[in-house]
Amino acid sequence: MTDTIDAQPTVAPIHSVEQTRKVVTEIPGPKSRELHERRRAVVADGVSSALPVYIERANGAILVDVDGNRFVDFGAGIGVTTVGHTEQSVVAAAADQLQDVIHTLFTITPYEEYVRVAELLAAHTPGDWAKKTVLVNSGAEAVENGVKIARKHTGRRAVAVLDHAYHGRTNLTMAMNYKAHPYATGFGPFAGDVYHAPNSYPYRDGLDGHEAAARTIAYLEKVVGAADLACLVAEPIQGEGGFMVPADEYLTTLQAWCTEHGVVMIADEIQSGMARTGRFFASEHFGWQPDLVLSAKGIAGGLPLAAVTGRAEIMDSAHAGGLGGTFGGNPVACAAAIAVFESIERNGLLQEAERIERTLTAGLERLAKRYDVIGDIRGKGAMIAIELIQPGTAVTAKQPNPEAVGAIVEFAAQRGILFLSAGTWGNVLRFLPSLAMTDALIEDALTVLDDALAALG
């Protein structure tokens, strides 16, 4: 049973795909349009698709649709296929595990793969104290469990989050998001005792880390009171909110305040973690050692898995039987996650993330000199964004320009490039590619982006 963990891959179906873009039909093509009609009859309208091209195969940084178009993927399923689509060692590990055991339920009869993932998370999350982990299925479920554990540990009720945060779509996490629409509108009533504190947004607030932290702390002390605050949840680099990189010392100042007042500080690394930013966890960029770290998206190469990892004494406050769930830590997802950790090391993926940052930001800086619609370039590693504003308003209002983002995304899609939007006002264009994204593909995408910016007029 244990031999699969360190064994070389025994199943390696190679479905490799040429790493170039190719558009052979109109977008969406006829077969995608046909599938879309079928979908409209049976898939709930609340589930929408940003680009309704139906994908048949994916490899590396390329998606192939049912009409034979090849798309350069700057979304990676929102930062999930960080090691690359169908990375062969991940495919092989999952395939091997499927033959051995698909499910037992760890809370009935456990298995080694779950333990190994917990060991890897303990070794790679920031902080060199004793750590423990619980595995669950989704990011939102990790957030829910982080809050549960923090409340049990502190005996306190209140939960604080930051402005522009995104934490998921369950009832509690809907209350934790900044944006009501589309995540929460009409879906209430929502969980109470959730407080939204000001964040650090250097492009718009102009505050240094200490000033921004002082503003956040003043809010928490005034509106909540430290004595009632169980936890403060923060994304080290905000994802859906628009890739805001906080000012230096913002997060560490908040952590020091939390520690002083017995508040559990939780890093939501669901989008920023697992090598995405050139570190295993983005918290490392800021010298932040959170009490608890939440992982999901990139952890298992595309299989559903999520985790809460943190200080053993906090994690162990939950009583036996208090944590779990039927599919949490599924063996196949765990086997894939082990392969992801190995792939990050073996393929030097932290360096690949830094390479992507260099190539992408250099190109974006060149474009920003020519197009004043680009107000800000920010991010780390393979988590880079541009914030678009109405030209001429840069100095004062920095008026958001969601129309420009929409036009660029559409222009690029027609040419075989998948870009994603983000941002509280929808005015952020984010680049969240897999670490298999080559410099050649980035340069190609920058050329298309140049044309898209020129076409804005």
Ligand X SMILES: *Cc1c(COP(=O)(O)O)cnc(C)c1O
- d(Cα 143, Cα 29) in Å, to the nearest integer? 38
167 binds ligand X, rule: CB under 6 A: yes
Residue 206 φ/ψ region, left for φ over 0, alpha for ψ in the -120 to 50 degree band, beta for the rest? left
Determine contact, residues 234/269, Cβ cutoff 8 Å. Answer: no
- Rounded Cα gap, residues 390 and 13, in angstroms: 49
249 is a site residue for ligand X (CB under 6 A):
no
Quote the least distance from Cβ 452 to ligand X, whole Å.
Answer: 25
Give the shortest CB-179-to-ligand X separation in angstroms: 13
Report the distance separating Cα 71 and Cα 82, nearest Å. 16
Sheet holding 229-234, edge to edge: 131-136, 306-311, 292-295, 264-268, 229-234, 158-162, 194-197
Rule CB under 6 A: say whether 276 interacts with ligand X.
no
Q: Considering only the stretches 33-41, 263-271, 285-293, 352-360, report the one whose residues sit in contact with ligand X under the rule CB under 6 A.
A: 263-271
Q: Which is nearer to ligand X, 144 or 249 (by Cβ)?
A: 144
Q: Are 229 and 220 in contact (CB under 8 A)?
A: yes
In the bound state, the residue with its beta carbon closest to ligand X is: 139
DSSP 3-state of 294: strand
| Contact (CB, 8 A) for 230 and 154 | yes
Is 235 among the residues that bind ligand X (CB under 6 A)?
A: yes
Between 88 and 277, CB nearer to ligand X: 277
Q: Name the phi and psi angles at 121, rounded to 5.
A: -65, -40
Which of 71, 106, 111, 166: binder of ligand X (CB under 6 A)? 166
Among the listed residues 270, 299, 307, 452, the single contact to ligand X using CB under 6 A: 270
Nearer to ligand X, 162 or 413 (CB): 162
Which of 140, 172, 197, 263 binds ligand X (CB under 6 A)? It is: 140
Would you give the binding string for ligand X spanning residues 72-111, x where CB under 6 A is met? Answer: ----------------------------------------
Q: Which stretch binds ligand X (CB under 6 A): 37-45, 264-272, 382-390, 447-455?
A: 264-272
Residue 416 amino acid letter: G
Question: Which residues sit at the interface with ligand X, rule CB under 6 A?
Answer: 138-140, 143, 166-168, 235, 239, 268, 270-271, 296-297
